[in-house]
Amino acid sequence: MKIDVRHVADLAKLKLTEDELVAMEKDLEMILAHIERLAGVQVEGVEPTFGSREPEALRLQGDDPRPGCSRASMLELAPSSKDGYYVVPARESEGRE
């Protein structure tokens, strides 16, 4: 199974060096070779399971607003903030205009 590791790394927003990409491709292919066994299982007409069996249906909560976290406590954890806002670089990346 050939995996486009560059594409997957881009989707996952992980920067990998050339060596890391090569190693990753090898690891993933090894794992997928094992997981390929699943292709042989008979699943015709079987419904998928995605989560809990109980509760079966969502509980919905009321609309009354409640105070959350104080801004100060959260901005303490912020890597960069200004005047109560979070700050991030504006451009996508270096050199792209």
Which lies closer to another protein via its Cβ, residue 18 or residue 77? 77
Minimal distance in Å, beta carbon 74 to another protein? 6
Query: Which x/- pattern, by CB under 8 A, does the window 16-55 give for another protein?
Result: x-------x--xx-xxx-xx-xxx-x-x--xxxxxxxxxx
Rg (CA), the chain: 23
Backbone angles phi, psi at 9, to 5 degrees: -65, -35
Residues 54-93 that bind another protein (CB under 8 A): 54-66, 68-69, 71, 73-80, 82-93
Minimal distance in Å, beta carbon 32 to another protein? 8
| SS3 assignment, position 84 | coil
Region for residue 13 given its phi and psi (left: phi exceeds 0; alpha: psi -120 to 50; beta: otherwise)? left
For another protein, the binding residue among 2, 11, 18, 19 (CB under 8 A) is: 11
Minimal distance in Å, beta carbon 9 to another protein? 7
Are 44 and 50 in contact by the 8 Å Cβ rule? The answer is: no
Are 78 and 86 in contact by the 8 Å Cβ rule? The answer is: yes
Q: At a CB cut-off of 8 Å and minimum separation 6, what does 11 contact?
A: none
Interacting residues with another protein (CB under 8 A): 3, 5, 8-9, 11-16, 24, 27-28, 30-32, 34-35, 37-39, 41, 43, 46-66, 68-69, 71, 73-80, 82-94, 96-97
